[in-house]
Amino acid sequence: MKYFSEFQFSVDDEQIESLLTEIKSGIAMPPNKEVLNLLFSILDLTSLSEKDNANNIGKLCEQVNLLDESYPDLPAPAAICVYPELVMLSRTKINNPLVNIAAVGGGFPASQTFLEIKLKEIEMAIETGAEEIDIVLPVGKFLLGLYEEIFEEINLIKEVMGSHHLKVILETGSLTNLTEVRKASFLAMDAGADFIKTSTGKTGIGASPDSFAVMCMAIKEYYEKTGKKVGIKPAGGISDVETALIYYNIVKNVLGEAWLHPEKFRIGASRLANAILGMIYDKGEDFKYFG
């Protein structure tokens, strides 16, 4: 490991609570159109259901393709995120070069399989068109303190991926406290993560502002020490604009404007896209374009 042991890991819970209170008190609804457009541009439109197939993912791709025609002043979403088996279909269907194809991989959502299988799955996803891969940090091993083993695994995955973006999901809801969230953040970044992400959305506990704030603070410290700007992605349970604004304002306050673009900030969501569109175009809370 390179820098992991050089950071301190304890978290001041009162400091986090005070920061979040200040941020939440400053949120004004509705936000201006510039902020809404930015929120849409950082979306990873996500479909990770056991019911996914060529029909519904094909429909999602077609809806993305028609955005230019339906809403010509709207920026493209950052990516669509699907299971590996549906990457080739997505790559074939999406005709907007600004929309990346992201896949979950590495034994998603529990990371409980053989490393050789994780690597092969990721290789195949990239070969069929994935530009980004979202993996899960091996939480079980992390809770045992097997940090070297986790480092080597993530580092090997990043080597296989090369220049493709690696997002490492910490599954913060399964960690025991904010100190563990901070420790996992530094471990993932040190091992080669291009993004760190809160949650899979599969455990019943998704993103939370306190864990997200801790992750942002770790990113800031890691950047100050190494010069590497790691991206950040909350996911799991973010379905309305007001909630999305909490995460937007945490990034703005902790990391600054340099992170407020799709190369460094994503939100993993599905329903949120409809909420943003409904607010931008005054179509009401029940408006539904996607789905």
* Active-site amino acid positions: 134, 197, 233
Could you check whether the bond before residue 209 is cis, i.e. omega within 30 degrees of 0? no
* Euclidean distance between CA atoms 256 and 68, whole angstroms: 30
Asked if 106 contacts 135 with a C-beta cutoff of 8 angstroms, the reply is yes
For 133-200, the DSSP string reads EEEE--HHHHHTT-HHHHHHHHHHHHHHHTTSEEEEE--GGGSSSHHHHHHHHHHHHHHT-SEEE---
Tell me the sheet residues that pair with 196: 168, 232
Question: Strands 195-197 and 100-104: what pairing?
Answer: unpaired
Q: What element of type H or E holds 268?
A: strand 267-269
Q: Is 254 helix (H, G, I), strand (E, B) or coil?
A: helix
Q: Output Rg (C-alpha) for the chain, integer angstroms.
A: 18
